[in-house]
Structure 1
Amino acid sequence: MNLDMNQRKKIMLEKIINSSYNNTAGIIVLKNGKPVYEKYYNGYTATNNLHVFSVTKSIISILIGIALDKGYIKSINQKVLDFFPDYAVKGGERTIQDVTLKDMMTMTAPYKYKSESYEEYFTSDNWVNSALDLLGGKGKIGEFRYTPLIGPDILSGVLVKTTGQSVLDFATENLFSLLGINVEGNIVFRNKEEQLAWYKEKNVRGWVADPQGVNTAGWGLNLTTMDMAKIGQLYLDEGRWKDKQIISTEWIYESTKEHSRCGKLSYGYLWWVIDNKEHIYAAMGDGGNIIYVNAKKKMVISIACLFMPHAKDRIKLIKEYIEPMFENCD
């Protein structure tokens, strides 16, 4: 059987994924807004939701942008404590009083801990207050410090305080429903065993929330591979979806350009900036979950993955194999 060059390339790509990126659940490639490739692995299908880990942060960035557009939040430069007037600062802590929303969004806020205390965080009744208790300390504001779990929840608290809605309700009304994304409801763990069991579930739905019902900001959201692609396409189309401006072009530009650096990598507002000049950026989560946007080539690539420690870099997979294969598709 004679296969054309495109089919042979796809077969080669799938061999590479099965051998070197074998925790992949789904891949979608959009070119000029149209799907040019869609493939699922490990028994997953288009309808399966997966935990996208830190891709959640970039969704929170979108929601903060929408809240700014709608006037719920006045400025990215507002002090964090302005949103929590009832929060009592402990002892003589001063640094926390100067931390701004922008510092939180660019991962340049300091914290009191050397390594995140996950047990203390998960057993707390109020994850926002737990994060506030750890914000500040002796570190300098402006130095990049990536906080996977503890810290971003403060942004969820800001959304709840300013909009008067839960994060999920605000997201559903102003983002998810407009894109045809269905996030079913809150996931609240009653104990450690429930949480560990949840990590092993094949098709998880909803968004993790603390006992107060405040949704997580650094992890915990579950999406399909196509949901992720839709988010990428929204950003590629400068905030427009079916002739409706969902989020301002200005926010998309600001959130996906370099504001801070982590070694060789640049960081925007909870988005990783892959190439500042070419305007390539990504939402990235543990296991290899990624929403990759190349504005110049008009490409969106979403990859949904099962959790795997030290997963191989999906940016390399995209740049070396996926982009070259589909960049000339109409």
Structure 2
Amino acid sequence: MTTMTIRNAARRWAASLVVLAALAAPLPAFAAPSDLPSARPQDVGVDPMRLVQLSQWLRDEKLDVRSLLVVKDDKLVFERYSGGLDRDYNYELYSITKGVTAILAGMLVDEGRLRLDAKVGELVAKLRPDLAEKFTDKQDLEVRHILTMSSGLHYDFKSKDDPIYYAAPDRLQLAAEAQPKIPPGTTFEYTDINPILTAAVLGAAAGMPIQVYAEQKLFEPLGMKNWAWGRADQKGLVSTGWGLRLRPVDMAKIGLLVLHEGKWQGRQLVSAGWVRQMTSPGVVPYFGDYWWINDIVTSEPEYDTMGFKGQFIVVLPKRDTVVVMTSLLPIEGGLRDAGNVQIFREIVNGHILPALAAGSGPGDPSAAAALAHELALAQASNPPPGAAPDPFETDTPRK
């Protein structure tokens, strides 16, 4: 064997050792985080008996609250399920999908792939050149307008089962055909045409379907499990206004990411500046970029993202707290005053905020047993649906 051959063999052997060492080395902490750590409520200054009373009230009122979580000081202190459900089920989040989408938009802005003043028509044309001429009457429409629900577009929604939600083979074409009603950026109007355009815009900016980008940039770093982003149309486009399914504990991680201004376990996933913008007033004082502002709590800083029939992620920065709920509750009453929103306001303002105000102290020594007993009763309960379940079983929790 020549000297050169021996040297080459040594190099290959050394390189293989480096590869094996890399494979054996532990992954960075952010690569596979576990679910949230837990603590007794009283250990972080939360009154457990107030939480017991809250759960009893939900049972007495027979409210179909599938999950209700409270995270304080980054610790899960209250985790309530009903109907035999547990932590591993995911839920259709409806418009909470928009709140997650806003985070993804911020990531693309941070990466320099997306500008808020970019023209929506130009970005859509990158993905669908066949629709370019549909935007000749929407030349002033910018990304910022569809994120703040101020596009000024009109779409004639059907009163029941509009095709953009389920049956349309090409949602983006329907959205592209929406007519300008008023100049963009002037008036807030909550319409689900906007998140269809957003799905196309973000996918074009990312160079991949938005759900693939979300998996790489958000879901995997947060250690999410059993997530799904479905209900794509026949062209393969998901909506960024609905269709995302998460476990409640993973919803809480979204809330914590926002609470900590884009940082997760020491890693800045999205810039603090974007989180501040996203949760600051846009065209109206109560809505930013797909996030609501002081819509649940008005007595202190609060921002939230909410979904049809009673899905919520609420961030309370003053309390270092995140509240999460999934439910099937009444929808009558309008966008901001539907029955499910009013019930959730009572849950947060009438029960959770008083529990958070308890302060530190030893508390009632029997509280832990009382809370465990009540949570077992809640899980065994089976309240009737407060709204009609979706005929396509969208509302069914899944593992």
Q: State the TM-score bracket (shorter-chain normalisation).
A: 0.7 to 0.9
Residues 1:322 and 2:344 are matched in the alignment = no
In structure 2, the residue corresponding to 1:178 is in which secondary structure? coil
Match of 1:40 in 2: 81
Which of 137, 144, 169 is the matching residue for 2:212? 169
Match of 2:317 in 1: 295
Letter in 1 for 2:153: Y
Letter in 1 for 2:183: K
Match of 2:15 in 1: none
Letter in 2 for 1:290: F
In structure 2, the residue corresponding to 1:304 is in which secondary structure? strand
Whole-Å separation in 1 of the counterparts to 2:49 and 2:299? 33
Where do 1:10-89 residues align within 5 Å? Answer: 10-20=51-61, 22-73=63-114, 75-85=115-125, 86=129, 87-89=131-133
1:169 Cα deviation from its structure 2 partner: 0.9
1:140 Cα deviation from its structure 2 partner: 3.4
Letter in 1 for 2:204: K
Match of 1:132 in 2: 176
Whole-Å separation in 2 of the counterparts to 1:11 and 1:183? 29
Cα 1:276/1:154, change in 2 over 3 Å? farther
Match of 2:288 in 1: 268
Contact 1:26 1:303 in 2 (8 A): yes
Q: Deviations over 1:255-281 (max 9, x none)?
A: 0011122xxx61000000016894310
1:90 Cα deviation from its structure 2 partner: 4.3
Q: Deviations over 1:16-65 (max 9, x none)?
A: 22244712111111111111111111222111111111101101111111
Match of 1:180 in 2: 223
Match of 1:251 in 2: 274
Which of 83, 93, 100 is the matching residue for 2:142? 100
1:308 Cα deviation from its structure 2 partner: 4.3
Cα 1:66/1:90, change in 2 over 3 Å? closer
Match of 1:219 in 2: 242
Whole-Å separation in 2 of the counterparts to 1:41 and 1:123? 32
Identical aligned pairs, as a percentage? 27
Cα 1:253/1:138, change in 2 over 3 Å? same
Whole-Å separation in 2 of the counterparts to 1:79 and 1:324? 46
Whole-Å separation in 2 of the counterparts to 1:276 and 1:81? 37
Match of 1:198 in 2: none
Higher strand share goes to which structure? 1
Q: Deviations over 1:284-327 (max 9, x none)?
A: 01121100001111110011113643343212321121122134
Task: Note the aligned Cα RMSD (angstroms).
Answer: 2.4
1:89 Cα deviation from its structure 2 partner: 3.1
Gaps of 5+ in 2: 1-41, 333-338, 361-399
Whole-Å separation in 2 of the counterparts to 1:213 and 1:63? 19
After superposing the two structures, state which structure 1 stretch, 80-89 or 219-228, moved more: 80-89
Whole-Å separation in 1 of the counterparts to 2:134 and 2:265? 48
Letter in 1 for 2:346: K
1:124 Cα deviation from its structure 2 partner: 2.7
Match of 1:187 in 2: none
Gaps of 5+ in 1: 185-204
Contact 1:299 1:327 in 2 (8 A): no
Letter in 2 for 1:82: E
Contact 2:262 2:271 in 1 (8 A): yes
Whole-Å separation in 2 of the counterparts to 1:246 and 1:21? 40
Asked which structure has the greater CA Rg, the reply is 2
Whole-Å separation in 1 of the counterparts to 2:242 and 2:290? 12
Whole-Å separation in 2 of the counterparts to 1:12 and 1:277? 22
1:114 Cα deviation from its structure 2 partner: 4.4
Whole-Å separation in 2 of the counterparts to 1:306 and 1:240? 31
Whole-Å separation in 1 of the counterparts to 2:345 and 2:298? 15
**Length-normalised TM-score, structure 2:** 0.70
1:125 Cα deviation from its structure 2 partner: 2.2
Residues 1:113 and 2:113 are matched in the alignment = no
Cα 1:326/1:103, change in 2 over 3 Å? same
Cα 1:110/1:25, change in 2 over 3 Å? same
1:183 Cα deviation from its structure 2 partner: 4.9
